[in-house]
């Protein structure tokens, strides 16, 4: 029993890092623009499909496709921003939410129509096998994914604190009006934040595909995970997102060990509502 718990906990921690990475893009977008992208999960799902197709046709390992998918998704983010998000910034909250819900419904059902419900998994990948740490077996793919997640988070943290654009983004997220007064092109910051968030999704998707398969239904789960983490993280920055991800990963691990793996989703939803009840400002927020 202890071994099972240990195994699941290690898995949970590794997955927690990945969860954090997936949520990171959403957190960035939310922090800067104050808009929750309901289609976030669907973006992840589409990125995962993209990883699949590129890996298949270019015959390269899934993990390597991240180098291609990330920039593609950055552009994708800019396009979505221009066509959709830009129009709803600052309007009624109902309209903002409705627009991204529409996007979610559209993408999800287009994916279902185009690719059917059959799951797809990578054909080519180098990150195979696992290593043993005592009683615990750690798949290399998950270990790498967690490592890449942490690396990306560090990179983003560096970007936000040490570069001019990063500081401009933070200024915009702190106080839009003040940032505008300082000469920052707020709309451009929004576009950058959105694109960057999507690029991060691209990276995450590539590495998730190394140990999971994708199907159009996956969007809902990834979306939920991201929203929970964003609520938990509040405005606590990159570290807040990481810790929230880890908490979620550990909770899931405990849930799988002591209860029913199938109830995983319900537990997460309940956790989500619980946090909204108890700590709506998040566990790590500054405000």
CB of 270 to another protein, least distance (A): 6
CB of 221 to another protein, least distance (A): 11
Q: What is the DSSP letter of 211?
A: T
Burial class of residue 6 in the structure, from the number of CB atoms within 10 Å of its CB (0-12 exposed, 13-18 middle, 19+ buried): middle
How many Cβ atoms sit within 10 Å of the Cβ of residue 263? 12
Nearer to another protein, 131 or 273 (CB): 273
Could you say whether residue 78 binds another protein (CB under 8 A)?
A: no
Nearer to another protein, 26 or 246 (CB): 26
Could you say whether residue 57 binds another protein (CB under 8 A)?
A: no
What are phi and psi for residue 100, nearest 5 degrees? -75, -25
Q: Using CB under 8 A, pick the residue from 35, 146, 176, 184 that binds another protein.
A: 35
* CB within 8 Å of 241: residues ≥ 6 apart: 20, 23, 24, 27, 153, 229, 230, 233
> What is the x/- site pattern for another protein, positions 122-141, by CB under 8 A?
--------------------
Q: Using CB under 8 A, pick the residue from 13, 64, 88, 250 that binds another protein.
A: 88
CB of 251 to another protein, least distance (A): 15
Specify the stretch interacting with another protein by CB under 8 A; choose among 62-70, 183-191, 196-204, 271-279: 271-279
Q: Which tokens in the block code for residue 269? A: 């939803």
190-249: contacts with another protein (CB under 8 A)? 224, 227, 231
Could you say whether residue 261 binds another protein (CB under 8 A)?
A: no
Q: Using CB under 8 A, pick the residue from 57, 94, 162, 183 that binds another protein.
A: 94
Could you say whether residue 176 binds another protein (CB under 8 A)?
A: no
Q: Using CB under 8 A, pick the residue from 9, 13, 36, 60 that binds another protein.
A: 36
Nearer to another protein, 73 or 272 (CB): 272
CB of 6 to another protein, least distance (A): 28
Burial class of residue 103 in the structure, from the number of CB atoms within 10 Å of its CB (0-12 exposed, 13-18 middle, 19+ buried): buried
Burial class of residue 98 in the structure, from the number of CB atoms within 10 Å of its CB (0-12 exposed, 13-18 middle, 19+ buried): middle
- How far apart are alpha carbons 140 and 281 in whole angstroms? 36
Strands (E), the chain: 130-133, 136-139
Instruction: Count H helices and E strands in the chain, helices first.
Output: 12, 2
Burial class of residue 224 in the structure, from the number of CB atoms within 10 Å of its CB (0-12 exposed, 13-18 middle, 19+ buried): middle
26: nearest Cα among 188, 224, 256: 224
CB of 181 to another protein, least distance (A): 12
Positions in the binding site for another protein (CB under 8 A)? 34-36, 38, 84, 87-88, 91-99, 101-110, 112-113, 116, 224, 227, 231, 263, 265-266, 269-270, 272-273, 276-277, 280-281
């Amino acid at each position: 029993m202890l071994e099972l718990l240990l195994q699941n906990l290690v898995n949970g921690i590794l997955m927690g890092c990945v969860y954090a990475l997936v949520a990171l893009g959403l957190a960035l977008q939310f922090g800067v623009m104050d808009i929750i992208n309901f289609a976030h999960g669907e973006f992840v799902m589409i990125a995962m499909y993209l990883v699949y197709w590129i890996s298949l046709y270019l015959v390269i390992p899934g993990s390597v496709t991240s180098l291609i998918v990330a920039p593609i998704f950055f552009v994708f983010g800019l396009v979505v921003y221009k066509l959709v998000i830009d129009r709803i910034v600052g309007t009624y909250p109902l309209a903002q939410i409705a627009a991204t819900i529409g996007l979610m419904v559209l993408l999800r059902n287009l994916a279902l129509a185009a690719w059917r419900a059959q799951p797809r998994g990578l054909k080519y990948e180098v990150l195979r096998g696992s290593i043993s740490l005592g009683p615990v077996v750690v798949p290399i793919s998950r270990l790498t994914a967690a490592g890449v997640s942490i690396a990306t988070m560090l990179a983003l943290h560096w970007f936000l604190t040490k570069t001019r654009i990063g500081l401009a983004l933070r200024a915009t997220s702190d106080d839009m009006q003040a940032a505008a007064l300082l000469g920052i092109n707020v709309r451009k910051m929004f576009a950058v934040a959105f694109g960057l968030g999507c690029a991060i999704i691209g990276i995450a998707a590539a590495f998730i595909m190394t140990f999971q398969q994708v199907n159009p239904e996956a969007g809902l789960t990834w979306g939920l995970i991201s929203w929970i983490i964003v609520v938990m993280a509040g405005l606590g920055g990159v570290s807040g997102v990481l810790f929230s991800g880890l908490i979620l990963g550990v909770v899931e691990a405990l849930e799988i060990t002591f209860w029913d793996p199938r109830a995983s989703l319900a537990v997460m939803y309940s956790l989500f509502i619980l946090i909204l009840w108890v700590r709506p400002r998040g566990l790590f927020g500054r405000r």
